[in-house]
A and B are shown apart, each in its own frame.
Chain A
Amino acid sequence: MLKIEGLCAGYGRIQALHGIDLDVPEGEIVTLVGANGAGKTTLLMSICGAPHASAGRVLLDGEDITHLPTHQIIRRGLAHSPEGRRIFPRMSVLENLQMGAAQSDPRHFDQDLERVLALFPRLHERLTQRGGTLSGGEQQMLAIGRALMSRPRVLLLDEPSLGLAPLVVRHIFEIIAAINREQKVTVFLVEQNAFHALKLAHRGHVMVNGKIALSGTGAELLANPEIRAHYLEGGTHGETAS
């Protein structure tokens, strides 16, 4: 569904991605894990054309979207819940969700709102509250909810667990699984929290210094001793029992 071929991208003279090849098949959850600074965020953002790729291609359903402007890429059925959540701080929760639906048919709005609020009942209680005053977990729910308002076919999630308490993290991951399972949304999940992400994902990739170092099914990568040594031990926060 989403296919990345030989993608290179960077910021000015700094090249952050060196020829990424990656496939996100329809209906699956694909995860990308890697250390801080590996280039994960850059990959998600350059799929959306910000920054644009300096080489390589991004294909959505076979259509080359590499050089389209960001808003046109998004309108083709991608939704992005970015690193740091980027909630509009001086807009209410409802307005943030309305922004998520800015490009959708207004006739779907009530139904989509209901669907998102059913996933995140916490947001329901806070519809009129300003985005900037929400807690970190609530902001993350809002960021995902906002992304879902556009009825995306592919959902890009950038470190949804960052800075959240373990219990909230587990809740967020359960919801991601539910979105994929029940609403048939394809998910591309970027995480530093490799343990949770790989458990959830059908397929995983490990990024090191702007390259894909290792790929496999979630279970394979979880069992891989090298992965365990680098990304899991100490990174699981004692949640291995869950």
Chain B
Amino acid sequence: MVQFGIFTVGDVTTDPTTGRTPTEHERIKAMVAIALKAEEVGLDVFATGEHHNPPFVPSSPTTMLGYIAARTERLILSTSTTLITTNDPVKIAEDFAMLQHLAEGRVDLMMGRGNTGPVYPWFGQDIRQGIPLAIENYALLHELWRKDVVDWEGRFRTPLQGFTSTPRPLDGVPPFVWHGSIRSPEIAEQAAFYGDGFFANNIFWPKNHFQRLISLYRERYAHYGHGTPEQAIVGLGGQVFMRKNSQDAVREFRPYFDNAPVYGHGPSLEDFTSQTPLTVGSPQEVIEKTLAFRESFGDYQRQLFLMDHAGLPLKTVLEQLDLLGEEVVPVLRKEFAAGRPAEVPDGPTHAALLARRDVAELDAAAAEPAGSIA
């Protein structure tokens, strides 16, 4: 099954229609309300960004996700993204393993290199080493979650001798990892090498670019023996604003679009919607545009929508989530299930990873010739 959810940047942005700017406190509480609403309307995933500068609030994702975990039952808590370049991989290992225990396994995370240059020097790193940092830090994180005692030496961090990262992952199964990417083929290659997920943050860019990146990832996933290209684990972004009536959606969203920090004061809403995944219209239009993702990128595992940015008020965002949960996602679930080949994996969950691990162990035990213990 495809997992559906939302991802938030956590920006504090002035509502261009009222001139009002929420406080940081209001924004943080709004993010929580949005996450709870996501579970209420039947979505599968809530993911938060990580930022270390204004006007963004989410500097401490596991704190926020831990709080949300305590107030939800089914929602998978994730990130978009966790900065693998500037966080200490040891601390990521610890924080997310802790969160995984508290949330009963409802945790995964998405690695990213970040888009804010000064974060590197603020955390004592060199931006020119962005890709090597992503590679080395993740190699260590991967090992910390899989080996009880780690001896390790690298280029960017103090060596470790006899180090055990605690708590150990829940049931001995590390959280699932996505690698988020906009540009770099190296990250597609990294995701493929480990058999991890690849999340193409395609929302601000035309699709041909992502078709190349995703097909590279699928090919390399097969090359490294994790399965067929169709079995690779792909996630996609999306960005929508809906009203029952398409013209109402356009009229209401236009001032937010025109003033949006990311693309505002640039192309027209019409050009941007024709060139990128942004859909502003009726639920039916959102359904059609999202279904077309499968044509472009193949059957995939996770669809995250950006819903709460550009200064949209909380009330509007909650209404958007009602529409998403009631009118869009049920249809998408049905349509995506139809014609989905049996060998295409579902979106990753702790339960599924645990079951797969157990099967692998049974197979290994069965392959052991009898009496070999002696």
Asked if A and B are interacting partners, one says no
Q: Which residues of B are in contact with A by a Cβ distance under 8 Å?
A: none
Q: Which residues of A are in contact with B by a Cβ distance under 8 Å?
A: none
